[in-house]
């Protein structure tokens, strides 16, 4: 009986403690599977894929799920030459990736309708992928949970002619995804090789995408909203004429307030960026006077320090200084290391800020070792550049995945852009003689204006600049009401013409 009572007392104590034990286990599981991934990049850009297995060297996966670079071998069949874009889900599970020639799904097989992204160019791309740094970019579609844009381009020489986009729906093919719209022409012009990047709009939902124009100071820009793509808008903020064959890189700072364009033949252009209007300003050009022909650029995670990798040098700039060029410091000089042996030099090439807040730098050759800046937020040599410190399981053909800051939120400091509906693109400021209200509009909208005595007209264009409607204005009235219910939801351009002269241009949004 005493044994039975003793056993019952033990069971009673265990029973009383069981809820606390189970609660502790649940807390641990929640921490491991939810808190840890969210703390280290929220999963979407946790996977970096490299390698060119067709050469018999295998492939490498770098996983940042737990806050550090976990490196492992992979059985993928895709070769990455220069173009490299991949994306994961919020838990860090691979969704799809591309080398610019085709798209592979999470099963490492060609995604449905994911082949033939490019046609009629060099046959070497059939096996190796496109040779264009930052030649592809994946962006989640605003307002959608399972659809993505893939922006991609062929490259057959400097002065690339076309950029395309395709749409991927991850609900297709049992969750492996499918391309539901392929090879849509986005822009046809002479563009700089690769160098596409994007930044969140100040509303925290939409995206600005930027394309540098070849042999020009111009940038083309598109805005992505839940209603589709609008643009191209043309920006001319100055800077170098981008016409050389220099192999470089572009990048937005993590906070979206700066944009850097680095070409080793034309050196560095640094701009301020307005996430609300999508405009560049305050150009700062910096020359290096070195002999580099390849290189890259990256910002620190706090957006206060800029790094330029210029073949055999790494330069650092303190962006908090009132005289940024004066802060230039050489924080690394190539130490003549080869991987695995000459002539495969581990010189400095493309950079990227990783989810672990360290900057990784690949080499200008196919190597098995790459570099890392361990403390990029630190000024001076305290940034801790560790050359060839990251050993890969397979050779990397001078490529690094192209990601952007998917987690940049809304800019609440701006009155104009503190709401999701406030989308303004006014690179030129106009008089307030004419306003459209409400904007966005759902059923009707009114154009308000001051009284005038000349002939006036109100002209509406679609996002491609095609004239779709025109109305006469009565100068003795102060408003004109128009019905928008027959218009497709999206962004429209308009022009006010008084007595044959343009008085104002702008845009308005139609929602349903």
Q: Read off the pLDDT of residues 205-240 as tens digits, 9 standing for 90 and up.
A: 999 999 998 888 999 899 999 888 887 888 889 998
DSSP code, position 400: -
Taken in order 209, 363, 240, 191, the sign of the CA dihedral is negative
Distance CA 126, CA 475 (A): 62
| Exposure string for 399-413, b = 16+ CB within 10 A, e = fewer | bbbbbbbbebebbee
pLDDT recorded at residue 113? 95
d(CA 168, CA 171): 9
At residue 417, the pLDDT reads 64
Q: Give the model's pLDDT for residue 451.
A: 64
Angle made by CA atoms 476, 479, 484, in degrees to the nearest 5: 140
Per-residue pLDDT, 33: 42
Give the pLDDT confidence score for residue 423 in this predicted structure: 37
For residue 465, the model assigns a pLDDT of 79
With vertex at residue 270, the alpha carbon angle to CA 292 and CA 373, rounded to the nearest 5 degrees, is 60
- The Cα-based distances of 503 to 128, 176, 438 in angstroms read 53, 52, 20
Pair 282, 272: CB distance under 8 Å: yes
Q: Which residue spans within 69-218 are E strands per DSSP?
A: 70-74, 85-88, 94-98, 103-105, 136-140, 147-152, 160-169, 178-191, 197-200, 207-212
163 near 149, Cβ under 8 Å?
A: no
For every residue of 332-366, which 3-state class applies, written as one string? EECCCCECCCCCCECCECCEEECCCCCEEECCCCE
Strand pairing class (385-397; 434-437): unpaired
Q: Divide the 512 residues of the chain into consecutive groups of 10 and give the mean pLDDT of each group.
A: 41 43 43 38 86 84 94 92 93 94 95 82 65 92 94 70 90 97 85 92 94 89 89 86 81 98 94 94 95 94 98 98 98 96 95 97 94 98 98 92 93 62 35 64 77 81 85 80 87 85 80 72
pTM of the entire structure?
0.76
For residue 404, give every residue at least 6 positions away whose Cβ sits within 8 Å of its Cβ, in sequence order, or none: 137, 139, 197, 198, 199, 252
User: In the predicted model, what is the mean pLDDT of the chain?
Assistant: 84
What per-residue confidence (pLDDT) applies to 447?
82
């Amino acid at each position: 009986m005493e044994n039975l009572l003793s056993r019952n007392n033990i069971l009673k104590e265990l029973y009383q403690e069981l809820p606390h034990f189970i609660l502790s286990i649940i807390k641990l599981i929640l921490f491991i599977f939810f808190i840890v991934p969210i703390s280290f990049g929220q999963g979407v850009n946790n996977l970096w894929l490299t390698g060119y297995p067709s050469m018999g060297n295998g492939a490498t996966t770098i996983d940042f799920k737990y806050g550090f670079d976990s490196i492992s071998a992979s059985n993928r069949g895709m070769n990455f030459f220069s173009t490299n874009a991949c994306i994961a889900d919020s838990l860090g599970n691979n969704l799809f990736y591309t080398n610019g020639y085709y798209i592979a799904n999470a099963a490492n097989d060609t995604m449905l309708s994911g082949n033939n992204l490019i046609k009629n160019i060099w046959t070497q791309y059939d096996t190796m992928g496109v040779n264009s740094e930052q030649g592809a970019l994946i962006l989640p579609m605003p307002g959608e949970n399972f659809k993505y844009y893939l922006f991609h381009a062929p490259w057959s020489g400097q002065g690339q002619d076309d950029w395309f986009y395709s749409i991927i729906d991850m609900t297709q093919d049992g969750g492996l995804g499918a391309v539901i719209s392929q090879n849509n022409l986005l822009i046809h012009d002479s563009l700089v090789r690769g160098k596409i990047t994007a930044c969140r709009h100040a509303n925290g939902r939409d995206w600005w995408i930027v394309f540098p124009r070849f042999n020009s100071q111009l940038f083309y820009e598109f805005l992505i909203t839940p209603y589709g793509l609008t643009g191209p808008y043309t920006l001319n903020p100055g800077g170098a004429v981008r016409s050389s064959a220099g192999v470089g890189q572009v990048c937005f700072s993590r906070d979206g307030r700066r944009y850097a364009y680095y070409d080793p033949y034309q050196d560095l252009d640094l701009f301020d960026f307005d996430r609300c209007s999508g405009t560049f300003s305050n150009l700062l050009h910096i020359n290096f006077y070195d002999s580099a022909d390849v290189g890259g650029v990256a910002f620190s995670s706090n957006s206060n320090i800029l790094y330029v990798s210029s073949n055999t040098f790494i330069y650092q700039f303190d962006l908090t200084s009132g005289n940024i060029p004066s802060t230039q410091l050489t924080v690394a000089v190539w130490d003549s290391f080869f991987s695995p042996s000459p002539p495969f030099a581990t010189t400095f090439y493309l950079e990227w800020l990783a989810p672990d807040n360290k900057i990784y730098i690949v080499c200008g050759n196919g190597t098995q070792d790459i570099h890392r800046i361990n403390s990029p937020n630190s000024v001076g040599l305290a940034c801790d550049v560790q050359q060839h410190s990251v050993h890969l399981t397979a050779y990397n053909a001078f490529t690094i995945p192209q990601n952007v800051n998917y987690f940049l939120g809304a800019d609440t400091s701006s009155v104009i852009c503190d709401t999701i509906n406030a989308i303004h693109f006014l690179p030129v400021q106009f008089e307030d003689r004419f306003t459209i209200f409400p904007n966005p509009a759902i059923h009707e909208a009114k154009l308000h204006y001051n009284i005038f005595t000349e002939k006036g007209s109100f002209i509406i264009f679609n996002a491609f600049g095609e004239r779709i409607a025109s109305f006469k204005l009565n100068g003795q009235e102060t408003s004109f009401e128009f019905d928008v219910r027959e218009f497709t939801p999206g962004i429209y351009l308009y022009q006010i013409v008084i007595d044959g002269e343009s008085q104002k241009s702008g845009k308005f949004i139609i929602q349903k």
